[in-house]
């Protein structure tokens, strides 16, 4: 008899039973004299930010599929030519890029959007558009690794002052802005890699009250789960390489905002260079069409995996926004219905931290986030960024959840 198959079946049954149990009201007991009733639909069936408003009275996924597409085509063709209607190919002049920009702008509630060849490109060129020598930028103590390098090593060379603030308390941001004004405030609502959940609406209010430009990196939540512009932010950025593309097959970046702000970023891109390639735009656009479906599954699977890891004897703590035991859960519940597929694990011992990623058979010990593949990244502690010792960041993919758990279980055996 195939023991692996039995184990997989057991896990699937256990997860299904757990979902039914979780659906029952607290303290409710089963009545053996009554017939079982179907469990209610999982809350993950609708995780959309309730502030979403369609520009054409359709749903989120209908807009993601149809908006921006070239008339007469089921899929906008890849417009590869260097010259487009007599001018160099640039953001705003290419139909393939335009389809992607139109979709993301509408889904984020923006007047316009502009694309770039990767996430770091859109972040660096956006910051350089709005910051000059002598300006002050206030950032959460932890953001994406390469952005940390940009802020620590490069912006100061241009005379831009960068202040890192613990934004887990919006009052701390308000205090920092009251002590010294800032031109720009920047943060990630769901922080990579610490999985802190920031009170984004509160931070946006503090930034705007102080007269700062508020730029939110929404890569890890996507516009399906959270739409910062509708909460008052000025600009929203994405590494489209991650969840928007979703398949690990393309690089890209997107900035969404007002016509005035986006036009300025577009001018910077045209001058400094960095044009999203049409084929990558094509691939990302196809990914966006299934964004809602994928984010629901990422979220559902991540919560199940988080519960498994939380119960494991080698785990000290699981950091996941959907897990009630994580401090970020209460914050997330104020404005989010789901937190996607990113989580962090603090291990009890060094040996587990050192070996877990090396023993995986199905999931991959690779960098990046938001792919269909589950990705596991071993981290080193960084006290100033609140990255703890013996920490692993995990991006839950779209494999069968029981298979992800089985792989994690054998790696921890």
Is 144 an annotated catalytic residue?
yes
Kindly report the backbone phi and psi dihedral angles of residue 180, in degrees, each rounded to the nearest multiple of 5, phi listed first.
-155, 120
The answer to whether 213 touches 243, Cβ cutoff 8 Å, is no
User: Is residue 175 classed as helix, strand or coil in its secondary structure?
Assistant: helix
* pTM of the full structure: 0.88
pLDDT surpasses 70 at 79: yes
Catalytically annotated residue among 90, 152, 175, 361: 90
Q: pLDDT category, 45, cuts 50, 70, 90? A: low
Which of 6, 406, 383 shows the shortest CA–CA distance to 166? 383
Predicted pLDDT of residue 9: 47
Is 242 an annotated catalytic residue?
yes
The answer to whether 303 touches 322, Cβ cutoff 8 Å, is yes
Catalytically annotated residue among 144, 224, 243, 320: 144
CATH code of residue 272: 3.40.640.10
Summarize the confidence of residues 195-223 as an average pLDDT.
98
In a domain, 251, yes or no: yes
User: Is residue 255 classed as helix, strand or coil in its secondary structure?
Assistant: strand
Beta bridge partners of residue 162, listed in sequence order: 137
Q: Are residues 269 and 403 in the same domain?
A: no
**358 against 91, higher pLDDT:** 358
Q: Are residues 81 and 207 in the same domain?
A: yes
368 burial type by CB count under 10 A (0-12 exposed, 13-18 middle, 19+ buried)? middle
In a domain, 326, yes or no: yes
Q: Are residues 204 and 152 in the same domain?
A: yes
Predicted pLDDT of residue 5: 43
Predicted pLDDT of residue 93: 79
Alpha carbons 308 and 261: distance in angstroms, whole number:
44
Among 268-272, 377-381, 383-387, the minimum mean pLDDT is found in 268-272
pLDDT digits 0-9 by tens, 255-266: 999 999 999 999
Which of 411, 402, 318, 304 shows the shortest CA–CA distance to 364? 411
Predicted pLDDT of residue 82: 80
Q: Which of 241, 263, 288 is the last residue of a domain?
A: 288
Among 45-49, 134-138, 308-312, 353-357, the minimum mean pLDDT is found in 45-49
Catalytically annotated residue among 103, 183, 230, 242: 242
Q: Are residues 300 and 279 in the same domain?
A: no
In a domain, 19, yes or no: no
Among 19-33, 43-57, 152-166, the minimum mean pLDDT is found in 19-33
Residue 176: which residues within 8 A CB-CB, separation 6 or more?
138, 163, 165, 182
Show the domain range for 396: 292-412
Query: For strand 235-239 and strand 315-319, is the pairing parallel, antiparallel, or unpaired?
Result: unpaired
Residues in the chain: 413
Is 319 an annotated catalytic residue?
no
pLDDT surpasses 80 at 14: no
Is 217 an annotated catalytic residue?
yes
Q: Are residues 316 and 384 in the same domain?
A: yes
Catalytically annotated residue among 63, 217, 280, 371: 217
Count up the domains in the chain and report the number.
2
Q: pLDDT category, 86, cuts 50, 70, 90? A: confident
């Amino acid at each position: 008899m195939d023991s692996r198959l039995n184990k997989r079946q057991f896990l699937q049954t256990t997860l299904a039973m757990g979902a039914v149990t979780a659906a029952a009201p607290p303290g409710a007991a089963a009545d053996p004299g009554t017939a079982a009733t179907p469990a209610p639909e999982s809350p993950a069936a609708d995780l959309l930010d309730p502030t979403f408003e369609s520009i054409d009275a359709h749903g989120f996924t209908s807009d993601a599929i149809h908006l921006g597409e070239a008339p007469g085509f089921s899929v906008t063709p890849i417009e590869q030519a260097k010259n487009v209607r007599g001018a160099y190919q640039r953001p705003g002049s290419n139909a393939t890029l335009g389809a992607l920009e139109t979709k993301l702008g509408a889904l984020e509630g923006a007047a316009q959007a502009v694309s770039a060849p990767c996430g770091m490109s859109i972040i660096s060129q956006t910051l350089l558009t709005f910051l000059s020598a002598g300006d002050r930028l206030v950032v959460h103590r932890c953001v994406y690794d390469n952005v940390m390098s940009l802020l620590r090593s490069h912006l100061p060379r241009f005379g831009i002052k960068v202040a890192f603030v613990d934004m887990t308390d919006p009052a701390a941001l308000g205090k920092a802005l009251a002590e010294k004004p800032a031109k720009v405030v920047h943060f990630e609502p769901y922080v990579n890699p610490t999985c802190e959940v920031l009170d984004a609406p509160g931070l946006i209010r503090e930034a705007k009250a102080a007269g700062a430009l508020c730029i939110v990196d929404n890569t890890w939540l996507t516009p399906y789960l959270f739409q910062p512009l509708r909460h008052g932010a000025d600009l929203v950025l994405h590494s489209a390489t991650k969840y928007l593309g979703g398949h690990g097959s393309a690089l890209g970046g997107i900035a969404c905002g007002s016509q005035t702000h986006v036009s300025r970023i577009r001018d910077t891109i045209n001058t400094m260079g960095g044009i999203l390639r049409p084929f990558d735009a094509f691939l990302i656009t196809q990914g966006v069409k299934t964004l809602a479906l994928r984010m629901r599954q990422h979220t559902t699977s991540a919560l199940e995996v988080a519960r498994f890891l939380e119960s494991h004897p080698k785990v000290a703590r699981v950091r996941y926004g959907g897990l009630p035991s994580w401090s970020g859960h209460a914050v997330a519940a104020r404005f989010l219905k789901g937190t996607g597929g990113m989580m962090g694990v603090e291990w009890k011992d060094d040996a587990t931290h050192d070996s877990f990623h090396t023993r995986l058979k199905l999931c991959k010990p690779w960098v990046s986030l938001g792919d269909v593949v589950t990705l596991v990244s071993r981290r080193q502690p960084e006290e100033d960024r609140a990255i703890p010792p013996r920490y692993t960041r995990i991006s839950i993919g779209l494999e069968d959840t029981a298979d992800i758990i089985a792989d994690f279980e054998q790696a921890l055996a």
